[in-house]
Amino acid sequence: MPNVQTMSDEEKVDKAYQSALLSQAGDEEGSIRLLRSIPMPPYLAKVFKEKVGADFLIDAGYNLSEAEAEFGKDWLTT
């Protein structure tokens, strides 16, 4: 099941900042995990789906809430 957690712009900025701090501290895995929790822009999610497939997006934990809002709940399977 895809990650479709919505968040405010303020939450997105906070997560990006926290991700940068983790990266600076040497925690690349934690940094990447936080970055993937920020909603991916729909146009980018669509390209990723075409290039690497829906399963990759889901398995990697990318937040697809904005893509789902724009393309509909079934966009990953169509």
11-52 confidence digits (pLDDT tens): 999 999 999 999 999 999 999 999 999 999 999 999 999 999
23 occurs within a structural domain: yes
Least Cα distance to 36 among 63, 4, 12 occurs for 63
Whether the Cβ atoms of residue 26 and residue 4 lie closer than 8 Å to each other? no
4 located within any domain? no
Token pair belonging to 31: 């940094």
pTM here is 0.90
Q: Is residue 77 part of a domain?
A: no
- Reported as a pLDDT band with limits 50, 70 and 90, residue 2 is confident
Q: For residue 69, report the phi and psi dihedrals to the nearest 5 degrees.
A: -65, -35
Q: Is residue 1 scored above 90 in pLDDT?
A: no
* Model pLDDT, residue 40: 97
Q: Indicate whether 2 belongs to any domain.
A: no
Q: Residue 63 gets which letter from DSSP? A: B
Name the domain count of the chain.
1
Instruction: Give SS3 for 39.
Output: strand
The verdict on residue 78 lying in a domain is: no
Domain that holds residue 58: 9-71
